[in-house]
Amino acid sequence: MQILAVEDDPVARRVLRQALKKLGHDVIEAEDGVAGLNVLAREKVRVIVSDWMMPEMDGLDFCRRVRERPGEDYVYFILLTSRTASTENEREAADAGVDDFLSKPLDVNELWMRLRVAERILQFATQVRTLEAFLPICSYCKKVREDSNYWTQIESYINTRTGTDFSHSVCPDCYKAVVLPELEKLKADAAKAREEEAARAAQDSASSEAL
């Protein structure tokens, strides 16, 4: 993957770059959030590893700006923190859009695990975006055509690809347009059946009396 490494300390940035390259990734460097945004404007980056405390624009403001970009592919954001970071600070970071945390000093094995998670999340995000962009759906029954040209319910289609389960409800418009008429029809059919049953009973009773 192509990864943006954002770190204001030259020594720490070099350590981060070497660790990422050792794990087989391409690395673009930036010294703070402002420089990082400039990189994102011209490069296709899906993962960012950024320090928290930086001049000009710190890691949280940088992450917020990344999340504010309209129409862009999802970027997985890993924030470098000190081991003494408080729970409140980490919650603030999560609210800003940070996906994961990595403690300093840098541990290559921990970095590897975080990036493996990032790869899976990004793959899932790409699948979902593709799914949203184009689905062959029947105009009448709303079934989805699969790659093998079979038609299946959209719930089954999405569950097979993402593992997502669905619960069902009825929106107010469909309740008025579909459910209420069906209920009225059921009531009318039941009333008609009762009338017919009563008529048959009366006829049977009359026949018995005549005999």
Do 82 and 94 lie in one domain? The reply is: yes
pLDDT at 28 over 70: yes
Q: What is the pLDDT of residue 105?
A: 85
The type of residue at 76 is: Y
Phi, psi of 76 (to 5 degrees): -85, 125
- What pTM was estimated for this model as a whole? 0.60
Most confident of 6-10, 81-85, 93-97: 6-10
Residue 150, pLDDT > 70, answer: no
Residue 46, pLDDT > 80, answer yes
> What six digits make up the tokens of 146?
């699969």
- pLDDT over threshold 70, residue 165: no
Q: Which residues of 98-131 are buried (b: 16+ CB within 10 A; e: fewer)?
A: bbbbbeeebeeeebeebbeebeebbeeeeeeeee
Tell whether 28 and 122 lie within a shared domain.
yes
Q: Are residues 123 and 31 in the same domain?
A: yes
CATH number of the domain that 108 lies in?
Answer: 3.40.50.2300
**Structural domain of residue 145, as residue ranges?**
136-168
14 plus 115 within the same structural domain? yes
Residue 15 CB coordination number (10 Å): 17
pLDDT value of residue 24: 93
Measuring CA to CA, how many Å separate 29 from each of 6, 14, 17, 44, 150? 6, 9, 8, 13, 47
141 and 73, same structural domain? no
- Domains of the chain: total: 3
Cα distances (Å, whole numbers) of residue 42 to 35, 53, 146, 150, 172:
11, 24, 36, 41, 46
Last-in-domain residue among 133, 159, 184? 133
Do residues 86 and 124 both lie within one domain?
yes
Residues 210 and 141 grouped into a single domain: no
Asked if residues 21 and 27 have their Cβ atoms less than 8 Å apart, the reply is: yes
Give residue 76's pLDDT band: very low, low, confident or very high (50, 70, 90): very high
pLDDT reported for residue 86: 73
In tens, the pLDDT along 127-145 reads: 666 655 555 666 566 676 6
- What's the confidence (pLDDT) of residue 139? 59
pLDDT at residue 58 is higher than 60 = yes
Tell me which of 115, 133, 151 is where a domain ends: 133
